[in-house]
Amino acid sequence: MSTNDILDQAFHYIHENFNRFVNEFKDLLRVPSIVGTHGVVECAKMVEEFMTSVGINVEVSSIEHKAPIVFGRLEPGSDGKTLLLYCHYDVYPVSNVHKWINDPFKAETVNGKIIARGTSDSKGNLMALLKAVESLSFALKGRPCCLKFVIGGDEEAGSPSLPQFIEENQGKLSANAAIIFDATLDEDNTPAVNLGREKPTSTEDDIVQAIIKASKTVYGTVPKIYRSVMTYPMYLISKKLGIKSLSTGCGSFNGNTHSINECITIDEFRNGIKYATSAIYFYTLE
Ligand SMILES: [Zn+2]
């Protein structure tokens, strides 16, 4: 099959199954996984179930008194490149609940927007990754790509469990490149890509070329490329593991991340799944 056949089939699958994807996304949003609360434990279980359901081998690693990190592997046994994907399932605390137009954990759609804490930061990104795996697996009739997943549960508190996890699992985490899929679109609703302030990731690298192709495929334009300060997870993956990394994502630029009425539009969520699908495809299979 050609590139276009595979991506066309994956995109077709996304359209056919999109209502279910939205419902599953809402199930995830309804678990109040506010950082530092018991909700993260419940949410880690749901993330584990979603990952297992799309064929990912999952281990939930827990460091005492810290939020579980959900680690996953998809290894089809081929020699292809391995891509490490990072996201998080904890959400920022909610204040001023009375100012929200809806309960922040009810996840209702209002005027084409899903409103809930965690929609843009970062459960929309997380679901986009998982549904990308499901859609690509369908298009390739099996487990298609070498992928690893690190899904944190305390990112909103500065990822205190991540250094020890990375320290103890260096071998397991080896990969050719990483995408920290935990960001919003740029102000003109096109993807933003951060390569970090310092090298080593350069625009010539295959991971950057893959994300540029993915952006063109889904949003019809090249992404905005930045060299900004790395988030802590990106710093750890890039510097401690030495993996070429970039950060990007499909959250809503106007999504009020960390604020009242956090949201993502239905279209942004759909395009996010396609963006993740294309990025994984172009990096691992082309
Ligand atoms: Zn985040």
* Chain segment 62-91, per-residue pLDDT in tens: 777 789 999 999 987 667 899 999 999 999
Asked if the bond preceding 122 is cis, omega within 30° of 0, the reply is: yes
Predicted confidence at residue 3, as pLDDT, reads 60
The percentage of the chain sitting over the pLDDT mark of 70, rounded to a whole number, equals: 97
Helix (H, G, I), strand (E, B) or coil at 35: coil
- What is the 88 CA–ligand 1 centroid distance (Å)? 6
- What is the 182 CA–ligand 1 centroid distance (Å)? 5
* Position 285, amino acid: L
**Is this prediction's pTM over 0.95?**
yes
The percentage of the chain sitting over the pLDDT mark of 90, rounded to a whole number, equals: 88
Residues 44, 109: Cα–Cα separation, whole Å: 24
In this predicted structure, the answer to whether residue 101 has a pLDDT above a threshold of 90 is yes
- What is the 149 CA–ligand 1 centroid distance (Å)? 15
- What is the 156 CA–ligand 1 centroid distance (Å)? 7
- What is the 249 CA–ligand 1 centroid distance (Å)? 10
**CATH code assigned at 115:** 3.40.630.10
Across residues 91-112, what is the average pLDDT?
96
Residues 84, 166: Cα–Cα separation, whole Å: 13
- Domains in the chain, number: 1
Across residues 192-220, what is the average pLDDT?
92
- What is the 141 CA–ligand 1 centroid distance (Å)? 32
Strand 113-115 versus strand 108-110 pairing type: antiparallel
Q: Which tens digit of pLDDT belongs to each residue from 16-50?
A: 999 999 999 999 999 999 999 999 999 999 999 99
- What is the 154 CA–ligand 1 centroid distance (Å)? 10
Across residues 5-13, what is the average pLDDT?
96
* Domain carrying residue 101: 3-284
- What is the 192 CA–ligand 1 centroid distance (Å)? 14
pLDDT grade, residue 60 (50/70/90)? very high
- What is the 42 CA–ligand 1 centroid distance (Å)? 19
In this predicted structure, the answer to whether residue 109 has a pLDDT above a threshold of 60 is yes
Among 92, 266, 278, smallest CA distance to 179 is for 278
- What is the 121 CA–ligand 1 centroid distance (Å)? 5
Predicted confidence at residue 221, as pLDDT, reads 97
- What is the 198 CA–ligand 1 centroid distance (Å)? 21
- What is the 251 CA–ligand 1 centroid distance (Å)? 9
Helix (H, G, I), strand (E, B) or coil at 113: strand
- What is the 9 CA–ligand 1 centroid distance (Å)? 30
Backbone angles phi, psi at 35, to 5 degrees: -50, 135
- What is the 16 CA–ligand 1 centroid distance (Å)? 29
Residue 259: burial class (beta carbons within 10 Å; 0-12, 13-18, 19+): middle
Backbone angles phi, psi at 38, to 5 degrees: -65, -20
pLDDT grade, residue 144 (50/70/90)? low
- What is the 35 CA–ligand 1 centroid distance (Å)? 11
Predicted confidence at residue 202, as pLDDT, reads 86
Task: Tell me the CA end-to-end span of the chain in Å, nearest whole number.
Answer: 12
| Angle in degrees, CA 166, 34, 159, rounded to 5 | 20
- Residue corresponding to tokens 């081929």: 78
- What is the 79 CA–ligand 1 centroid distance (Å)? 32
In this predicted structure, the answer to whether residue 1 has a pLDDT above a threshold of 60 is no
- What is the 125 CA–ligand 1 centroid distance (Å)? 9
In this predicted structure, the answer to whether residue 271 has a pLDDT above a threshold of 80 is yes
